[in-house]
A and B are shown apart, each in its own frame.
Chain A
Amino acid sequence: MTKAVLSTLELLVLLLPAALLLGGYMARVFRGERTFLSAGLRPIEKLVYRLCRIDESQEMSGRSYALSVVATTLGGCLVLFLIQLLQGILPFNPQGLHGVRWDTALNTAISFGTNTNWQAYAGETTMSPLTQMLGLAVQNFLSAAVGIAVAVAMIRGFARKETQTIGSFWVDFVRAVVYVLLPLALVLAVVLVSQGVVQTLHAPVSAQTLEGATQVIPVGPVASQEAIKEVGTNGGGYYNANSAHPFENPNGLTNLLENFALLLIPTALVFSFGIIVGNRRQGRALLAAMLVLFALGLGVSFWAELSGNPLLAGAGVSGGANLEGKEVRFGIPASALWAESTTVTSTGAVNSAHDSDLPLSGLVQLFNMGIGEVIFGGVGVGLIGMLFYVVLAMFIAGLMIGRTPEFLGKKLGAREMIMAVIGILLPSITLLAGAAVALVLPAGLAGLGNPAAHGLSEILYAYTSAAGNNGSAMAGLSVNTPFYNLTLGLAMLIGRFATLLPGLAIGAAVARKKTVPGSIATFPTTGALFVVVLVAVILLVGALTYFPAFSLGPILEHLFLGAGRLA
């Protein structure tokens, strides 16, 4: 337990001050103020505007902002789809790989365009270096920038009053790439290469092992992709084993840095939020709620994983230590810490195999994703999702004290409430319906990698990950089939737009409203009471939505495990 607590504290000591600094920096960037990087980056920003014929002074209505978001997301998917299909005739393909099969390519295109990075394929034998660089890595940046932009627009809505516009999507989007994502990725990539993450355009290397066998070792432009994969909460690995692969994550230092990187922007955005709405205590209150939920889930995971697997202990494994699917250089605590971090954000990068985690860890991961990844969350979309819960919590609190719900001086009406409920419930309905369909169709059951309750968890995990735009998997499920590629692809699209569009709708709606000054009767939204109400609402919604499904999957398996029963 010492290592568990110590690794968590070390991560937070690194994360919170860095997020505070980055949060202030991002607030300046998105308000169009000068920063210490402006001298170098402003020319690049202006060049992009000129080449793309963007007028940076042109503000947008919510509708126009939303159209731009949809066009950029679907356009990105289309380009990525074509690159994969044409891979066989494109250059930079030293292994001579063929074009990707259409259903896999479509699933992957949606997956990377929606910041999900669900991977039905194995990178080393499916995607050429060109596809990885020009296709997948580019969407890592762009999908992350879309999420940040929409969050900024929504925040702006709360900060403004009686206006029809919420900023320019193109400006927010370009700034997110040029001022935030690219500099962070550059720095992280250099550090990763120095530690052993490969970065080369060479073909796979052939080695003659000490015992005389031949081992073919795939290399490629990995560090550049690894960096943005974590910074942008994307999670799509260059290799099939993702961040468990030694070339993606070679040691304890890279593991800490990557874990830090995938939490950084989501955490920083909470600070930016407080600054932009002119109420830093509000940002800190949201952060407190996130930290409480983070600690709850992490505590359960640590307890489960460190208790070990009694069945393994019975088989002669010392302490029943659950090292199946975990790397020695990370160990059990750092694997559990990462699993928590990657599922509370929408990252989905993994440094261990979630399919082999103990049932209660799986339960926590499913819960983190199922509530919509609002504990820190994905870049941008996490904060948007948290604000949905804030609207819901304020509505409930308003009912209890008998006043119109308010947040940040904005009266919350039916429109805001409807949009928040769509944002919370539509992904949940999608994932439960998808899993239910897969569980009754032969095409769904054919993919199972494990029997009984654990099999149900695998299918539930797949749709939860897709609708939550997470991308991690209980990877024993064989999903590279037309059935799974198409249904999971649809779930990813619904999950993405059911977050982005209601977020914009709320932002645009509150921007039109007056800001009313708080009175003695206003429900205080920066204190401990607010944090408790918010956390309680999130736990309640999650429990009410998922308890029946969870009880048939991870909870049942946990009971089996305790009774020493095999499946």
Chain B
Amino acid sequence: MKEIRTAFLVILVFSLLLGVVYPLLMTGIGQLAFPSRANGSLVSVGGHVVGSELIGQSFVSARYFHGRPSPSDYDAMASGASNFGPTNSAFLLEVKTRVDRLLRENDLAPGTSVPADLVLASASGLDPDISLEGALLQVDRVAAARGLDIAVVRALVQQMTRGPFLGAFGDPRVNVLQLNLALDGLS
């Protein structure tokens, strides 16, 4: 049948145009015009790659600001959410455990309400940011662990805070890797 022959010809021709020429052209443009962005916004310290500013990584030491909980523990090869439903008892139990740990780690009184992002996992499991409130909550701990003045650390957090795009997209937030790199630069 004529239709079938034409269909396969069209698929073949467009596979070349859209599956080879188009992505290679985009790769060429990206690599020439925005090489750092196109290659993953990688951050290097002393010549070796420590991560990507866009991809969250695990921080557990008291000396660093911590990111959000991650279902894959920041394994970048396994992006994804917890997919817990809002009434799932296993989910609520896990959140309570995280709240308790967060309060303990930061020396806060039991029963204190905590910023949601610090105890709830993101959609990608690789969220590079925490909320401004989430960062401020950790200032005292980080300052103490590093022997820094609290005001200095708080000022750094404020300075690195970015607001919502067009006043509507996103919460005031801090990039955790960049904040921690800046901390390392201080001390």
Residues of chain B having any CB pair with chain A under 8 Å: 1, 3-4, 6-11, 13-15, 17-20, 22-23, 25-27, 29-31, 33-34, 37-42, 48-52, 54-61, 64, 68, 74-89, 91-92, 95-96, 99, 103, 111-117, 119-131, 133, 164-171, 173, 177, 180-181, 184
Contact = CB atoms under 8 A, between A and B. Distances in A.
B30 A210 contact: no
A162 interface: no
B116 A141 contact: no
B13 A196 contact: no
A353 B64 contact: no
Given A79-B11, A329-B170, A137 B78 contact: no
Interface stretch (A18-26, A265-273, A393-401, A447-455): A447-455
Given A217-B55, A325-B123, A353-B123, A10 B168 contact: yes
A200 B168 contact: no
A137 B19 contact: yes
Contacts of B124: 239, 241, 244-246, 327
B89 A566 contact: yes
Given A198-B38, A207-B49, A252-B164, A52 B123 contact: no
Contacts of B166: 6-7, 10, 252, 256
B77 A247 contact: no
Interface string A424-464: 00000000000000000000000001111111011000000
B185 to A, nearest CB: 12
Contacts of B42: 205, 207, 217
Contacts of B177: 210
B77 A211 contact: no
B54 A241 contact: no
Given A193-B33, A256-B166, 17 more contacts: A71-B3, A138-B18, A200-B38, A221-B23, A225-B23, A239-B124, A240-B78, A244-B81, A247-B40, A255-B165, A316-B119, A324-B121, A326-B122, A326-B123, A355-B81, A450-B84, A476-B84
Given A52-B10, A208-B50, A224 B171 contact: no
Given A194-B34, A211-B61, A246-B124, A204 B77 contact: yes
Interface of A: 3, 6-7, 10, 44, 48, 51-54, 64, 67-68, 71-72, 75-76, 79, 122, 124-125, 133-135, 137-138, 141-142, 170, 173-174, 177, 182, 185-186, 189-190, 193-202, 204-211, 213, 215-219, 221, 223-225, 228, 239-241, 244-247, 250-253, 255-256, 309, 311-312, 315-331, 333-335, 350-353, 355-359, 449-455, 457-458, 474-476, 557, 560-561, 565-567
A193 B15 contact: no
25 contacts: A7-B169, A134-B20, A142-B11, A177-B18, A186-B26, A193-B26, A195-B37, A199-B31, A204-B77, A205-B39, A210-B59, A216-B77, A228-B18, A246-B124, A251-B165, A316-B99, A317-B114, A325-B122, A328-B171, A334-B170, A356-B83, A359-B87, A454-B86, A454-B87, A476-B83
Given A211-B64, A213-B58, A6 B168 contact: yes
Contacts of B95: 312, 315-317
B83 A475 contact: yes
A328 B173 contact: yes
Given A142-B11, A312-B116, A189 B26 contact: yes
Nearest to B183: A210
Contact of A224 (B23, B120, B167): B23
Contact of A209 (B13, B50, B68, B120): B50
Nearest to B119: A317
A356 B82 contact: yes
Contact of A200 (B14, B18, B30, B165): B30
